[in-house]
Amino acid sequence: MIPSVAPAPVAPAPVAADAEDTATNAVTDTTAGARPGRRPRTAFAGLFSRRLSARRLVASPGAVAGITWLVALVVASLTAPWWLPYKTEDQDFTAVLSGPTAAHWLGTDELGRDLLSRIFAAAAGTLGTSLITVIVGVGLGTILAMVAAAGVRTEGVISRATEIMMSLPGTVIILAVIGAVGTNIPVIMAILGVLISAGIYRVMLGQATALQSQLYVDAAKVDGVSALGISMRHVLPGLSNTIVVQSALIFAVGMLIQAGLAFIGFGPPIPQPSWGGMIQGASQHVYDAPWLMVPTGAVLALTVVAANAIGNALGKSPNASASHLPSAAERRRRAAASAVAAPEAPAVPSPSGRLSVRGLSVGVDGGTPLVTDVSFDVGQGTVLGLVGESGCGKTMTALSLLGLLPSGVAVTGGQILWDGRNLAGAPEGVMEGVRGRDIALISQEPMRALDPMFTVGYQLVSTVRRLRGIGKAEARAEALGLLEKVGIVDAARILRTYPHQISGGMAQRVAIALALSGRPRLLVADEPTTALDVTVQAEILSVLRTLVKDTGMSVVMVTHDLGVVADICDTVAVMYAGQVVESGRTANILDNPRHPYTLALLAADPHANTAADMPERLATINGQVPQPKDWPGGCRFMARCQFAGSACVAPVPLVPSGSDDGVVRCVKADELAVEGLEWVATDVPGHRVLDVRSRDIPSRDIPSGDNVERDKA
Ligand SMILES: Nc1ncnc2c1ncn2[C@@H]1O[C@H](COP(=O)(O)OP(=O)(O)OP(=O)(O)O)[C@@H](O)[C@H]1O
């Protein structure tokens, strides 16, 4: 299965939409609510999420008080010239250092200037310049994290650069900037933002990397979405909670640092008022006029608390807002612009859709091989099964077909021939053109391949539009057709649902529909039925079988289930420890297996035996698939094989198995075939201990060690 390192973002909870959305839904019908009796819901999780955040703000008394305070402060500050009783520089020598009076509600300073007027006059500047720090710091840190998460090399460069930035003494740099540009507060706050961005980057990087590892990001890559598209659509929304919380924190920090700078004399030039400068002035009269400290200190403290209260409330939102999504007006405009067209007929794949893999090797950057010398062919309209235990290299082989190997793993040799092109190690630009359009992928966990923040309809329609370059209405009709093609009867309803609202089987059908969006000629299915119950498994296999028959699409089916192989595959390649050990037509392999590993898999499979010949105890294979670093030089299955002999220590080539174009990698293949030997249930550790029983001789008649002697001979 495709690895994933982090849980998917939490899915949004449903809320009612407004009338505007209802109107939009009437046009597009992709955004209506999923439950009958409720008002239609927006399909766009962004609007959803924004409303949800607004609800959270309203539900939090602290946040409501914080917003009220900040709004009042800004409005009061911006309108100060019209309502304040005094100008900031007006001096009243009859009331120097006074406390609150009818003339001066908050008192006066040492020059008789009105504190109320000066506090409110300074507010807008303080808040505005703090916002500069937020925009620069959080913006730069987030962008750097998104870029770094998209590539290992870039991450190395950016991380080293930010480490250097974090090691620099921030205070000294700020003082140096002041020395160079003077007390230009906007510039100083912007520089402060740059310094802070290194810390923000560290906070965001882990989250962005985790989001990049999600299966739905792999699915987007398969659909040919560019790196920028993935960052904007799948990573940024997942970061927005953190962005909001960090912004609130940095806003408060910015205000405090600004006040601190003014306190030590690096604030706005005198007589311009600033909160820090006023606190500094008050500190000189702490004994003779202690009240002077109270109004300014209280306003600063209240503003910091208000910012934090808002951040706390927003931080509790269950998911990020998605402001990158189109607005309702934009959606209406696009819907109107899209010509309503009839859905196209299903595509018939080109006859050239044949895949030939030759000597494919995949390895870790450090040199450890994971897959060696794998060859197989997939003809048009046929299904190849890649079968084997966990860790045999099936997924690595399958992912290399799409150029989606995990970071640090690469194709190290061989060819993947598709339409006359070699896709092995092809540049990303070439693979972006192939993925989704020529070769598509469905994975084991469809739920995680679907982004929980968007409706099925949004994901399907946007994928169809991107891959086919058609209008919204046409794409929607196509999406409905695709859902019906994969056996979904109430397709219109499913289009309106979010992934968390549908079952696993339904999600897999949707994932198959998504994979079919670009009319691929080859579908790579990585254990598509493993996570489903048996009934649903059978339904999904039936869908795939019908698609292959109706469209001529080919399938590479990764599975460890021989029942699936028997059910749907025309040919099969049995993999063990990174090698193909046997391949050929499915009927030949299942009826006349030639490799001991294939024998063992069949003996261990309850489906391979009919009720009549079902053994009392199914066979097991002792031991485990060896780790790539532990592969022996000879037969890799030798240590677990009931038939291993001295000839197995030398490297074993693939040789014709004698049936059609089948091949097998075992020096004893002929002997096994001639003697009709079977893999038996045994607890005896397998290595070189032979407990072979003929089909014709009851096991109790064979003395222990009989075959050891035969092997020695
Ligand atoms: N990202 C990775 N880096 C290094 N080695 C890896 C990585 N992913 C998988 N491997 C190793 O590559 C080998 C083949 O793994 P692969 O996932 O292809 O096996 P598989 O047969 O598909 O198993 P499963 O059915 O469990 O997915 C295993 O030894 C595995 O440990």
**Residue nearest (by alpha carbon) to ligand 1 atom 14:** 393
Ligand 1 atom closest to Cα of 628? 29
Closest CA to 311 of 238, 232, 253: 253
Residues 444, 399: contact at Cβ < 8 Å? no
Please tell me the predicted confidence (pLDDT) of residue 349: 41
d(CA 527, CA 410): 22
Would you say the CB of residue 394 lies under 6 angstroms from ligand 1? yes
Would you say the CB of residue 368 lies under 6 angstroms from ligand 1? no
The mean pLDDT value for 259-272 works out to 84
Closest CA to 222 of 446, 524, 461, 527: 524
- CA 370 to ligand 1 centroid distance, Å: 7
| Global pTM value | 0.59
Would you say the CB of residue 66 lies under 6 angstroms from ligand 1? no
In 45-144, beta strands by DSSP E: none
**Residue nearest (by alpha carbon) to ligand 1 atom 31:** 391
Please tell me the predicted confidence (pLDDT) of residue 636: 94
Please tell me the predicted confidence (pLDDT) of residue 616: 66
Range ranked top by mean pLDDT from 26-35, 330-339, 543-552, 567-576: 567-576
Please tell me the predicted confidence (pLDDT) of residue 25: 34
Give the DSSP H/E element, type plus range, for residue 574.
strand 571-576
What residue ranges define each of the domains in the chain, with the CATH number in brackets?
Answer: 54-315 (1.10.3720.10), 355-569 (3.40.50.300), 592-712 (no CATH)
Please tell me the predicted confidence (pLDDT) of residue 3: 37
- CA 410 to ligand 1 centroid distance, Å: 13
Would you say the CB of residue 364 lies under 6 angstroms from ligand 1? yes
Would you say the CB of residue 636 lies under 6 angstroms from ligand 1? no
Would you say the CB of residue 625 lies under 6 angstroms from ligand 1? no
- CA 396 to ligand 1 centroid distance, Å: 6
Judged by DSSP in three states, 285 sits in coil
Range in 277-281, 443-447, 481-485, 600-604 the model is least confident about: 443-447
Would you say the CB of residue 388 lies under 6 angstroms from ligand 1? yes
Q: How far is CA 710 from each of CA 674, 690, 691, 694, rounded to the nearest angstrom?
A: 14, 9, 11, 13
d(CA 697, CA 708): 17
**Count of CB atoms within 10 A of residue 108's CB?**
29
What is the token pair recorded at 405? 């190997």
The mean pLDDT value for 302-326 works out to 65
Whether the per-residue pLDDT at 625 is higher than 60: the answer is: yes
- CA 600 to ligand 1 centroid distance, Å: 21
Would you say the CB of residue 14 lies under 6 angstroms from ligand 1? no
Count of alpha carbons within 13 angstroms of residue 400, beta-carbon side: 33
Q: What is the mean pLDDT of the chain?
A: 78
- For the segment 459-512, what is each residue's pLDDT rounded down to a tens digit? 999 999 988 888 899 999 999 999 998 888 889 999 999 998 898 888 888 998
Would you say the CB of residue 392 lies under 6 angstroms from ligand 1? yes
Ligand 1 atom closest to Cα of 391? 19
- CA 232 to ligand 1 centroid distance, Å: 30
Please tell me the predicted confidence (pLDDT) of residue 44: 36
Please tell me the predicted confidence (pLDDT) of residue 675: 67
Phi, psi of 597 (to 5 degrees): -65, -40
- For the segment 372-384, what is each residue's pLDDT rounded down to a tens digit? 999 999 999 999 9
What is the token pair recorded at 72? 């009042």
* 355-364 vs 579-585, strand pairing mode: unpaired
Whether the per-residue pLDDT at 13 is higher than 70: the answer is: no
Residues 436, 222: contact at Cβ < 8 Å? yes
Please tell me the predicted confidence (pLDDT) of residue 361: 94
Range in 75-79, 116-120, 692-696 the model is least confident about: 692-696
Please tell me the predicted confidence (pLDDT) of residue 225: 80
